[in-house]
A = this chain, B = another copy of it.
Amino acid sequence: MGVTDRHDAEALDAGDPLARFRDDFVVADEPRIYLDGNSLGRLPRRTAARLAAGVEEWSTRLVQAWDDWIELPVLVGDRLAAACLGARPGEVLVADSTTVNLFKLAHAALDLRPAGPVVTDLASFPTDRYVLEGIARARGRDLVLADTPDAALDVAGAALVCLSHVDYRSGRLLDLAAITASTESMVLWDLSHSIGAVPIDLSAADLAVGCTYKYLNAGPGAPAFLYVRRELQAQLRSPIQGWFGQREQFAMGPGYEPADGIERFHAGTPPVLGILAVDAGVELVTEAGIDRIAAKGEKLTDLIIGLHDAWLGKLGFELATPRSARERGSHVALRHPDAWPIARALIERAGVIPDFRPPDLVRLGVPALYTRFVDVWDAMRRLRDLVASGEHRTVNAAARRVT
């Protein structure tokens, strides 16, 4: 056997300690192979039940259910912290979108650093760069868009450095703990592409945000989370002074005084049903164990890379993801000049759902909780055959694209 032998993939599935978790998800799209769970994760079976229970509670307890619901953003944040963030209770809040949370924390951080540029790098997810550009302009700071994370960390006198833990294109994974230990800069981490895929150690980190609809499988547009190190919380104020961040919320007094803990980073009324879906997703990560998830993710991406080397190099592909497993998350990017028509053809002709990232990347996400090794093997074979036959040149590449 070898990487190009399907039996090899079957054997990996047979020995996979997480194999049973696939049954925790609704898989209604076979024989399609879904490799875009890093854009939108699958529906966990328990989530439908959890949402139905939340809806039932709404209908029966009505406004009185808020006595319990009001605890959810911190409760689920604590569970998320314990499952895969290496953070302490009271340091994580489930709220708003990643974009809004990044806005809140970046603004707050600049209050502490009255001078210096806002720094990020070209690998930051677009919304991060856009948000920071707006904040820098509003606060009269320069925005430095460094070429690499290393270069971003080298910018002297930076007020704030914003880094993506896993690069949404290449899949490159930064050593968050080592960077945290070695830098003087205040770093705001975007964990959207690593949360639920690899263990994260925020124990010494200052600020982080991330999304829950990828590897946490909380559904389209599910609420995001934010993390603020306990020792920093009292020094930071959200620019969005909403009533859920107010100390005595229901006194409804005239002036704003931020709550003591992580709740001060709330804005408006939290989305209860969305948070219940986050809770269900976090529960699955807890049950599977983030270390086992990461170990399987490493093998899945290893398989992609092995098959790339065996089959795709001669078809014009180039690996855009680090070969060292310690330097990548749970997705792999393949560079090809025809990446866009290839991605379309995979969907339309080959029943494989990848993602495309401009200008030239086909991105394959392999969330460990439900992706099988044979899925990867079959998808790579279909990709090889598609490009070898030139069929991708016949698709309508003008089709609309949406993540």
Interface residues of A (CB under 8 A from B): 26, 28-29, 34, 36, 39-40, 42-43, 47-48, 51-52, 55, 58-67, 69-70, 96-100, 103, 122, 125-127, 129-131, 133-134, 138, 145, 211, 213, 219-224, 237-246, 249-256, 267-275, 277, 347, 353, 355, 357-358, 400-403
Contact = CB atoms under 8 A, between A and B. Distances in A.
Contacts of A69: 220-221
Contacts of A138: 239
Contacts of A238: 134
A66 B403 contact: yes
Contacts of A241: 130-131, 133-134
Nearest to A41: B62
20 contacts: A28-B59, A40-B58, A43-B55, A51-B51, A63-B403, A66-B220, A67-B402, A96-B97, A97-B242, A103-B239, A122-B254, A130-B255, A130-B256, A131-B242, A134-B239, A134-B241, A219-B272, A222-B271, A223-B271, A252-B358
Contact of A268 (B29, B58, B99, B237): B99
A97 B269 contact: yes
A126 B122 CA distance: 40
Closest 3 CB pairs of A and B: A97-B268, A99-B268, A127-B243
A148 to B, nearest CB: 15
B256 A134 contact: yes
Contacts of A274: 221, 271, 273-274
A269 B96 CA distance: 10
A400 B66 CA distance: 11
Nearest to A40: B63
Nearest to A211: B269
Given A130-B246, A271-B221, A66 B48 contact: no
A322 B254 CA distance: 23
Contacts of A253: 126
Contacts of A400: 67
Given A66-B403, A97-B268, A271-B221, A134 B240 contact: yes
Contacts of A99: 240, 242-244, 267-269
A47 B55 contact: yes
Given A127-B243, A130-B256, A219-B272, 10 more contacts: A40-B63, A42-B59, A63-B353, A97-B242, A98-B268, A98-B269, A103-B239, A103-B240, A134-B238, A250-B402
Given A43-B59, A62-B42, A273 B220 contact: yes
A100 B240 contact: yes
A239 B106 CA distance: 13
B55 A51 contact: yes
Nearest to A269: B221
A34 B69 CA distance: 19
A370 to B, nearest CB: 11
Contact of A96 (B43, B100, B273): B100
A34 B62 contact: yes
A211 to B, nearest CB: 7
